Amino acid sequence: MANYFHKIDPYELSMSGLVYSVSFSSTLGGSATVYLQIKTGDRTAFIVDYLVSSSAEPLKMTAIESPTLTDGTTAVTAYCLNRQKATVPVTTFFSDPTGISGGTTIHQEIVTAGKGAGASTSDSHGWTLKKNTSYVWKIEQLSNQATVVTAEIIFAELYGTTR
């Protein structure tokens, strides 16, 4: 019988070389939008934590599952958090997908920066992503002034078929 109460410890996963960090930064002009494409592979990808921040203006972050899009070509490198391991994730990230439409909005969040004052939002709830699926993070600048957006995703990849 399966143990449904088995806890996956993110620190154990990190020590095993199965936790990765990916981050990117973009300068957005007034009312501009930037996209981050996440392409999962044949392993279970699990978002452990994320952070989205703005240097000066409010943002809206929307997570979209399975949109129609043209894959990005500019890869954003994911780094293993255990720097003594040489593991490489199958989940890939791109900073420039295009032609994005449709899909299912699975999360929306506002970064409530005040005019000229930065802010951030983060989430340490676990998100288990579908295998072999594209996701897009759409980050919209909500004012007419420029701001610098940074984002970091901490994710794990689990092997096997038990999860």
How large is the average pLDDT for residues 102-118?
79
* This prediction's pTM: 0.84
Residues with Cβ within 8 Å of 74's Cβ and at least 6 positions away in sequence, in order, are: 94, 95, 96
* Separation CA 101–CA 104 (nearest Å): 10
pLDDT the model gives residue 1: 37
pLDDT tens, residue by residue, 5-30 = 455 566 677 778 889 999 999 999 88
Q: Which of the four pLDDT bands, split at 50, 70 and 90, describes residue 161?
A: very low
Q: Higher-confidence residue: 161 or 61? A: 61
Other beta carbons less than 10 A from residue 20's beta carbon:
25
| Contact yes or no for 76/36 (Cβ under 8 A) | yes
On the 0-12 / 13-18 / 19+ scale of CB atoms within 10 A, 68 is exposed
pLDDT tens, residue by residue, 22-54 = 999 999 988 899 999 999 999 999 998 888 888
Mean residue pLDDT across the chain: 85
Other beta carbons less than 10 A from residue 33's beta carbon:
14
pLDDT the model gives residue 2: 44
